[in-house]
A = this chain, B = another copy of it.
Amino acid sequence: MDEKYMKIALEEAKVSYRNGDVPVGAVVVCDNKIISTAHNQKEENKNAVMHAEIIAISKACEELKTWHLENCTIYVTLEPCLMCAGAMIQSRIGKLVYATSNEKFGYVESISNVLNNKNNNHHPVIVTNICQEESQKLLKSFFKDKRN
């Protein structure tokens, strides 16, 4: 099931890629129903907060008419940054599933794990390495294109 939703997140990531944005996609799921999908639009919209996760969480809140996403899972193709990890605490998202780590900017396992801080009032379940290879390939190809 995780692979199924992550593949949809990867399709979203490809939209970012085509728009010149780092390919990251996100999908919010509740009771086996897709609530929202989003892709990274930071460059496309010239907007610092428009990471896939922020948009997907915002759209899910709108759709469900609540900021409480305890019963939701977010699928992301890349380990979240500080801002997006924070959005997961703010929304009390039940579960975070991501495809691959982000050594430079990831704040769930790479730089540190801000989600397991005992001071947080919420601690989502974390699952990693779902469709890892596919996401890594997409990212590598994007950055190779950028250098050329």
- A contacts, CB < 8 Å to B: 42-43, 45-51, 54, 57-58, 61-62, 65-67, 69, 81-87, 89-92, 104-105, 107, 111-112, 114, 117, 119-121
Assess whether A48 is in contact with B90, with CB atoms less than 8 Å apart.
yes
| Copies in the assembly, this chain | 2
Assess whether B49 is in contact with A61, with CB atoms less than 8 Å apart.
yes
Assess whether B89 is in contact with A67, with CB atoms less than 8 Å apart.
no
Given contacts A47-B58, A48-B57, A49-B54, contact A67 B81 (CB under 8 A): no
Question: Which residues of chain B have C-beta atoms less than 8 A from A85's C-beta?
Answer: 82-83, 86
- In the bound assembly, the distance between CA atoms of A82 and B61 in angstroms comes to 19
A53 to chain B, nearest CB (A): 9
Q: Is the interface of A mostly helix, strand, loop or mixed?
A: loop
Question: Which residues of chain B have C-beta atoms less than 8 A from A45's C-beta?
Answer: 61
A89 to chain B, nearest CB (A): 6
Which residue of B87, B105, B107, B121 contacts A49 across the interface (Cβ within 8 Å)?
B87
- In the bound assembly, the distance between CA atoms of A81 and B54 in angstroms comes to 15
Which residue of B57, B62, B66, B86 contacts A81 across the interface (Cβ within 8 Å)?
B86
Which residue of B86, B120, B121 contacts A84 across the interface (Cβ within 8 Å)?
B86
A33 to chain B, nearest CB (A): 19
Question: Which residues of chain B have C-beta atoms less than 8 A from A50's C-beta?
Answer: 58
- In the bound assembly, the distance between CA atoms of A49 and B117 in angstroms comes to 20
